[in-house]
Amino acid sequence: MFKPFRTAAVLGAGVMGSQIAAHLANAGLTVHLLDIPAPEGDKNAIVEAAWKKALKLKPPILFTDKVARRVTLGNFDEHLDRLAEVDWVIEVVVENLAIKQQLMARIEGIISHDAIVSTNTSGLPVNEIAKELPVSFRQRFLGTHFFNPPRYLKLLELIPTEDTDIDILLRLKWFGRLHLGKGIVVAKDTPNFIANRIGIYATMLGIKAFTDEGYTIEEIDTLTGTLVGRPKSGTFRTADLVGLDTLVYVAKNLYPAIPHDESREAFRVPDLLTKLVETGILGAKTGQGFYKKEKGKILSLNSKTFAYEAAKPMDLGELKSIQKLELPERLKALYQDKGSAGKFFRKYILSILSYSAYRIPEITDSPAEIDRAMRWGFGWELGPFEIWDILGFATIVTDMQTADIPLADWIITMIEHHQVAGFYQQDRVYTPSHEYIALNTPQDEINLNLIKSHPENILWQNEEAALLDLGDGVVLYEFRSKGNTLSFKVMSGLTEVLDILENSDHHGMVIGNSNVNFCGGVHLAEIGKLAQSGQLDAIADLVLQFQNTLQRIHYFPKPIVAAVRGLALGGGCELVMACPQVVASAESYIGLVELSVGLIPGAGGIMRMAAWAAEHAAKETASQVQPFIQKVFETVGMAKVANSGYEAQELGFLSPTAKIIMNSDRRLYVAKQEVIRLALEGYAPIPHRDNIMVLGQPSKAALEQAAYVFQQGGYISEYDRFLARRLAYVLTGGELSAPSLVSEDYLLQLERESFVPLLKEEKTQERIAHLLKTKKPLRN
């Protein structure tokens, strides 16, 4: 077991340095963020301005505002002595080898004998930075390449030098994964390491298709975006976000650094890109790049005139049928497409697969490391070698040979000497050593696909949910409806599995899934369909069943633990709040957002928030409880979504006892261990709550006045105010004239009575229809 870092220093407060410091603080470290001294006046002026700017970034870099207190600012002239007390020093200064070497020489005599030092360089040789320093320093030195933004992008590339002590590397692998929530890839000390080497190559291919091959910007972004399992920003929106100047800088530095790269010419900066940068067209930072937003419309660049024009109709054939397929089948169908879309994709993907294969063993020894790097660093759903296997190992080899696309020597050897069907076989991967080696999946990660591959582990299932045996007396309720919504089948299934659990020998249950988001809320399309047909009684019955099911979970005789990451909205939030215990990824975005679709929470959300407000007050008096009620009213009324698991605790969506973990891949395992722990401790249901303090009419009047002020200020619409009044009515106890103690059932009934009639409102129906059509909320 390694010792976790408790203190760190980040040297350089630029865009990356400030964000790395913030994420270390998110992880609980005390952080010193230092930069060069200001030439005059306050020497901390530069670092303070940089930190202030970083705190305004969107999405936010901190889990909560309080985390900023863990970061202490300073400068290189006055505060380098602080480095004597820190466990880890990360250098993030300008990409200049001489400057980095000079800084390392300065800190070598200050740091403690066991402090680890790393550089966040993205392009310079790591070994060169510390080569003149003593061996004792070099043994504790390596590259740690975070990806921007460090909080949100999972990849952390570790680049050991020839002198790096193996225990230092292993400690950073352990800490980075467990405490920073990172996916760790060990890269060789080669130009741009792994992810950027492959990713920049793919970007340059896309740009070349625009400049030389007649495809439009929109066509290329369509064919390099979500259609093929990549971020929706595709090639050109991503380039705009990164910065065209940054892209040119990276490519210009990479080209001379890779003289033996068989595809080196792909990194030669095209004239178009050079001209854009020379004229100050740098992408999102300057408001225009390949795209420009003008009067609410998205325009794209005409490469000949440099004017921005509306998108022309795409000449890609019929893609709608392909888009409906699951990703593996989508890739196969696109690869076989006879039109221009298929022509582009075949050339594009064959080039990337060839290039990726040629980088082994130059940048890494394993195809799995390249696949992980591209998934975690560039947001690809599948890495190059995973795509190769899906399209067919032999098919790709044949097509490369037909198209005169070069094949790496180790691939040729693989074909000649081994009867292999692909790079991956279950939990093993083929490597240039000509053997399959274990993927070494961490023991604290649960692979649901592997569990479901054994039929005996599926204890119950319907079309949208299943009860799985996780072993050790723990079961998992996995729902896999569209958008992970709480559909009719998911909710009826939950009732069935609770019956099964209650009458079995299992210790308890985890509720979760392997998707990016825990739950998108109730299935609005199903509810909306019933509302449009006037079946309000049926909806009332469903709401009552939903409430009863969540109450049953809350007071169940065996431990039930929600395993959450990503979005948990509306009814999904209410499900999380009902679970007696929760394991949540730090990157959990939880909220009661019903008002954004013209409703109020109807499955216990308001009831639990009212109880939270009363329980957090110093005393159960109106004056003490009212500030917490006001906070709940604003949180729910503004459909606020927590920025992190920690903020979800502050807002009342998660209890103080919820376990928040940095690495979301561990959530199912940790939730399983929570079930076992609670069972071994002698689990007893939460005591029933029949005395919730609500404040009655005086509090309701105050909340309604606040809504009026918001409406008059233009912050909310008239209909928002109408909904806020319904929220206030339930939150304060309905028609009660004075503060009173009420039961949970009393508040649940108020929720039902207020929720169902809202579905008859025209503006609510408009909001639901708009969200289902556009995926965006409507303010009417």
Distance between terminal CA atoms of the chain?
A: 56
Tokens coding 667: 């959530």
Which of 624-633 are b and which e, b meaning 16 or more Cβ less than 10 Å from the residue's Cβ? Answer: ebbebbbbbb
Helix (H) or strand (E) holding 140: none
Q: Is 463 exposed, middle or buried (0-12, 13-18, 19+ CB in 10 A)?
A: exposed
Give the three-class secondary structure for 33: strand
420 in Cβ contact with 411 (< 8 Å): no
φ/ψ region of 295 (left if φ > 0, alpha if ψ in -120 to 50, else beta) reads left
Low-confidence ranges of the chain (pLDDT < 50): none
**Amino acid at position 644, single letter:** S
Q: What is the model's pLDDT at position 749?
A: 97
Backbone angles phi, psi at 375, to 5 degrees: -70, -45
Q: Is 523 exposed, middle or buried (0-12, 13-18, 19+ CB in 10 A)?
A: buried
CA of residue 700 relative to chain centroid, distance: 38
Tokens coding 420: 């292999």
Give the three-class secondary structure for 83: helix
Angle subtended at Cα 426 by Cα 423 and Cα 430, rounded to the nearest 5 degrees: 25
Tokens coding 49: 């301005």
Cα(13)–Cα(47) distance, integer angstroms: 6
Cα(605)–Cα(597) distance, integer angstroms: 16
Cα(235)–Cα(218) distance, integer angstroms: 9
> Could you say which DSSP state residue 479 is in?
E
Pairing mode, if any, of strands 465-471 and 458-462? antiparallel
Pairing mode, if any, of strands 560-569 and 465-471? unpaired
Pairing mode, if any, of strands 308-309 and 424-425? unpaired
- DSSP state letters, 343-386: HHHHHHHHHHHHHHHHTTTTT-S-HHHHHHHHHHHH--SS-HHH
Give the three-class secondary structure for 751: helix
Q: What is the model's pLDDT at position 432?
A: 85
**Cα Rg, the chain, nearest whole Å:** 28
Q: Quick one: CA torsion of 626, 630, 636, 637, rounded to 10 degrees? A: 130
Tokens coding 362: 């130059």
647 in Cβ contact with 64 (< 8 Å): yes
* Residues making up the chain, counted from first to last: 780
Pairing mode, if any, of strands 692-694 and 740-742? antiparallel
Cα(282)–Cα(291) distance, integer angstroms: 10
What percent of the chain is helix, strand and coil (3-state, nearest 5)? 50, 15, 35
Helix 195-212 vs helix 271-278: crossing angle, to nearest 10: 100
666 in Cβ contact with 602 (< 8 Å): no
Cα(496)–Cα(502) distance, integer angstroms: 10
Cα(186)–Cα(180) distance, integer angstroms: 16
> Could you say which DSSP state residue 227 is in?
G
- Long-range CB pairs of 678-684 (<8 Å, 24+ gap) are 678/508, 678/559, 678/561, 678/581, 679/473, 679/507, 679/508, 679/558, 679/559, 683/508, 683/557, 683/558, 683/559
Alpha-carbon distance values, 60 to 56, 57, 262, 458 (Å): 7, 6, 41, 40
Cα(291)–Cα(690) distance, integer angstroms: 58
674 in Cβ contact with 692 (< 8 Å): no
Alpha-carbon distance values, 285 to 73, 225, 281 (Å): 26, 22, 9
Cα(487)–Cα(526) distance, integer angstroms: 7
Backbone angles phi, psi at 145, to 5 degrees: -100, 100
Q: Quick one: CA torsion of 617, 622, 623, 629, rounded to 10 degrees? A: 60
Give the three-class secondary structure for 24: helix
Cα(88)–Cα(9) distance, integer angstroms: 6
302 in Cβ contact with 272 (< 8 Å): no
Q: Quick one: CA torsion of 615, 685, 681, 677, rounded to 10 degrees? A: -80
Q: What is the model's pLDDT at position 606?
A: 98
Cα(780)–Cα(772) distance, integer angstroms: 15
Cα(15)–Cα(51) distance, integer angstroms: 9
Cα(386)–Cα(393) distance, integer angstroms: 10
Q: Quick one: CA torsion of 708, 710, 713, 714, rounded to 10 degrees? A: -110
Q: What is the model's pLDDT at position 419?
A: 65
Alpha-carbon distance values, 676 to 475, 593, 619 (Å): 11, 33, 36
Alpha-carbon distance values, 763 to 525, 704, 717 (Å): 16, 20, 11
Q: Edge-to-edge strand order for the sheet containing 308-309?
A: 291-294, 297-301, 308-309
Q: CA-based diameter of the chain, in Å?
A: 85
Cα(200)–Cα(400) distance, integer angstroms: 21
Cα(637)–Cα(91) distance, integer angstroms: 44
526 in Cβ contact with 488 (< 8 Å): yes
Cα(225)–Cα(512) distance, integer angstroms: 28
